[in-house]
Amino acid sequence: MIAIIDYGAGNLFSVKNALDFLGIENKLTSKISDLQAADELILPGVGAFPDAMKMLVSSGLDRVIKELAEEKPLLGICLGMQLLFEKGYEFEETDGLGLIEGCVKLIDAGGQKIPHMGWNDLTLLNPCAMTKDVEKGDFVYFVHSYRADTPPENISCYTVYHEQIPALVHKGNVYGAQFHPEKSSDVGLKMLRNFASLTEGKAKQ
């Protein structure tokens, strides 16, 4: 079962609807016991980095997420992906969850529109379990103004919007998608299915 972490940051139901469509058992929840019982965790989110971190800290979910990420797969989506890093610089410097090295800063769009919004193609850099059967040139859907700045070894695939933007990051049990897999047609659904399959082998042992 996948627990979709409800901490008040929105974008919950589109993720749930995608998992329901795939027939993957899931639950929207903020209960610590539900998170502990889940096989995988998804941290979604839209909005501002400082506000989201305040909600996580005030609820105590920040500590729970960091503890559980040591033992089970965690996927951050859009703002949820940005929260995985050490710091964010949206409006003010804010500590993130610190699960992946790096920070989150405003896109250098080179005069193009911000937010970066629409379909962009992917280039694989360090393939991971979530990119199984994903090919160079596959398109996914983005809506964001900030991007991760992290060492190349943490970047599974990237896109280009004037500058190189990490699209999918990965370290240990932790994955982060800057794009919206739930809105990215067959490619995004394939990645969600790959994520849900991460613990299947363990369950059969």
> pLDDT tens track of the chain, all 205 residues?
999 999 987 778 999 999 999 999 999 999 999 999 999 999 998 889 999 999 999 999 999 999 999 999 999 999 999 999 999 999 999 999 999 999 999 999 999 999 999 999 999 999 999 999 999 899 999 999 999 999 999 999 999 999 999 999 999 999 999 999 999 999 999 999 999 999 874 433 3
Q: For the sheet containing 146-149, what is the strand order?
A: 94-95, 85-88, 100-106, 146-149
Q: Letter for the amino acid at 65? A: I
Strands 139-144 and 123-124: unpaired
Contact yes or no for 167/82 (Cβ under 8 A): no
Structure tokens at 103: 């920070």
Helix 61-68 with 49-59: angle, nearest 10 deg = 90
Phi, psi for residue 169 in degrees, rounded to 5: -115, 160
Strands 163-171 and 155-161: antiparallel
Distance CA 157, CA 122 (A): 6
Q: Which residues are catalytic?
A: 78, 180, 182
What pTM was computed for the model? 0.95
The upper half-sphere exposure of residue 164, i.e. CA atoms within 13 Å in the direction of its Cβ, equals 13
